[in-house]
């Protein structure tokens, strides 16, 4: 019987890429998200971002660099709300540009929402091509933006159904 290559089980380097941290129901959601991203910094040292909301207003801040370089007390105090979604990025798809920093936030059909994604969609190019063929316009080179377009496409059925689709 053939042995499996050792490298399948013991990679020579950690396989950790990107990190997501979310907070719900806490008045200091942005600060808690900051500390969560700081703890996950080893997973992505290219860019970071936090999106917050109080259920009505949405705020965001993202930039290239390390978490403590991107956020300070003034910025965190400006990110109001009891909900926060944060992301640290290590490029696996898409270019190393601010436009590709996450979380992504969109406003569609009277609703604002944000998404952060950790992973790679295996059929992103195919879906992107199909969406572009029906008029979708992409702003980034990220496969996560494909998820946003699919969500918008099925949003009229409700957010839960849009996620299922």
Are β-strands 47-53 and 58-64 bridged in parallel, bridged antiparallel, or unpaired? antiparallel
CA distances from 5 to 8, 14, 82 (A): 6, 17, 48
Q: Which of 2, 13, 18, 35 is catalytic?
A: 18
Instruction: Find, among 143, 129, 130, the residue nearest to 91 by Cα.
Output: 143
4 tagged catalytic: no
Question: Does residue 23 contact residue 32 with C-beta atoms inside 8 Å?
Answer: yes
As given in the structure block, the two tokens for residue 92 are 């696996």
First vs last C-alpha separation in the chain: 43
Q: Return the axis-axis angle of helices 124-133 and 144-154, rounded to nearest 10°.
A: 50
Instruction: Find, among 102, 83, 82, 147, the residue nearest to 121 by Cα.
Output: 147
What is the distance between the alpha carbons of residues 118 and 116, in angstroms, rounded to a whole number? 7
Q: Which residues are catalytic?
A: 18
């Amino acid at each position: 019987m053939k042995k499996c290559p050792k490298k399948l089980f013991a990679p020579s380097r950690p396989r950790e890429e990107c990190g997501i941290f979310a907070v719900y129901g806490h008045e200091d959601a942005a600060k808690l998200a900051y500390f969560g991203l700081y703890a996950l910094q080893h997973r992505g040292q290219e860019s970071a971002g936090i999106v917050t909301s109080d259920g009505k207003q949405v705020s965001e801040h993202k930039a290239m660099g390390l978490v403590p370089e991107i956020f300070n007390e003034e910025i965190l105090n400006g990110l109001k709300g009891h909900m926060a979604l944060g992301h640290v990025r290590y490029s696996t798809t898409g270019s190393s540009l601010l436009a590709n920093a996450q979380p992504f936030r969109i406003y569609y059909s009277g609703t604002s929402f944000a998404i952060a994604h950790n992973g790679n969609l295996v059929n992103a190019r195919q879906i992107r091509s199909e969406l572009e063929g029906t008029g979708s316009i992409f702003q980034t080179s990220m496969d996560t933006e494909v998820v946003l377009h699919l969500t918008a496409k099925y949003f009229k059925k409700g957010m839960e159904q849009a996620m299922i689709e």
